[in-house]
Structure 1
Amino acid sequence: MDNTDKPKRQRGQRTSITLPVAEPAQLMAFLIDQLPHKNRNNIKSLLSNKQVLIDGKVYTQFNHPLQPGQVVTVAANRAPEISQYRGLTILYEDQFLIVINKQAGLLSMATSKERDRTAYGILSDYVKKENPKNKMFIIHRLDRETSGVMMFARSEKVQKLMQESWNDTTKQRTYVALVEGTPEPPTGTISSYLRESKALIVYSSQNPDMGQLSVTNYTVVKANEDFALLELELETGRKNQIRVHMQDIGHPIVGDAKYGAASNPIGRLGLHAERLAFEHPITGEQLQFSAPIPKSFLAVVKTQQDND
């Protein structure tokens, strides 16, 4: 029997605790209430050891405000130091997966035309340092100019498990986009059929025979006279889906001349993969990772009120 993809559980190993937030509270008060077997000093140690996460991100402030719908995770062990490389940061790794925050400008993996430094190449070198036989397998891609959360598998078996069950095991894919103008209404759903031409341009149609069904939900988070910051939830994950759908509604992503943008105030494509939540393909654990919204996005949608 092949045991290579079974989680290694050592005797006495503890597991993480997941605590859904039902009502507003400060983090310390919430933890004291939820962990009656621990005293205030125990909880301070958990915070200082970076073992407390809110929606997948480490927080150490005892008075951090919590909102209903958030999930607090108390990790079993002290958080490993985040590994940073030129172009990416490793947010999480175990023997099955590596999750990264990719910077804009870094290719996900090489193509026949482009052999530049890639996220795949950086991670391949990283895992081979541990064992020259180790390999990396890409699960999903981000466009070169899109930043944010991205996931790789450490075996072909795990890659296949994630890709084949992607729609069922991926619980949340949240992007933020900086777009020209402000969509009306401020929340909506864009649905169309997408197909790619031989020239690698993706076209949108309302004809079901003209491509794959693609659905994007958007919400305006902040806006000024010229630009808006949108939060986008994907129901499908087609190539260039968000970029084409923003063009469809007349609010292209800044810096995206390929799909109709006339401006580029941030010197890059205004698209960022902010959050990814999924079920671990081997352990079944619910995991969530986030990458902060780039400060350049937020600076563009500052209003006069922010400056006063």
Structure 2
Amino acid sequence: MDVQPAPSRTGQQRVQISRIQGNAVGPAFDEVAREEALQLMVNSQPLAILLRTPGSDLELALGLLHAEGVVARLAEIASVRIAPSGQRDLHFPQLELELDPEAENLVDVKLRAPLPDGGLGWQRALPSSSACGICGAATLEALQRFQDPVEGDFIWPIERIFRLPEMLAASQRVFSSTGGLHAAGLIAWDGSSMVVAEDVGRHNAVDKLVGRALAEGRLPLTNSAMVVSGRAGFEIVQKAAAAQVALVASISAPSSLAVQTAELLGVTLIGFLRGERCNVYSRPDRVGAPGGPVAG
């Protein structure tokens, strides 16, 4: 089908508001972050509904499927049906894209093999029943059985780590006008520029980064670092580790399960990265201080 790409929706929307400044009240306009539901399908079967910021629907879908263990390599994908309005970048030569204007807020990833029954990826290894439910220990045990540890061994100079939040903020295009989006940035050890994704969901931003790398044939992301604008929870670390990202840094706090996951999978986890200070929670040997690698 010969379809001309339609302009994608931007990540922001202009709304009319009432603005109060001191004792003055008057009409005004404001830019808010766009949030819409996306139907993710695999082999034309509904899989999940995601709340996201439109514009990188392809990357979001592929990143989520990679993190969940559904897609490991680009060769496993036969084609992707997507509405051009939900995708800014349509130049992925290694992917067969079916542009369907009627597929609004929908991505259908068609695999060369059927989807397995039961849970996805590492979640298939979780116990099916338990008197105490699914606890952190069960989650880590299931993850260890499914996911390989991270192998990157490059040492990141602390001066370069300190610059990561500034590099991320400089590339947050939609956040600068709305103040309402999370962001994740990815940089290679030998690179000078950062690839950034924004979304109303912090996990979505990470999925978009990994999904773009998958679509471009750049996985695994060995010896790369990721910086996130929000809290570093379990899912952030798990998604990064699935892509073999060796270092994850957050300007905020990590959770206890995130720290345990980072230790289990060999991820260097950094929190409270602000100015020239940070906390290193796991694998400090990848952090290069003036006197050499940080001791564990």
Identify the TM-score tier after normalising by the shorter chain: under 0.3
Greater RCO (Cα-Cα under 8 Å, separation 6 or more)? 2
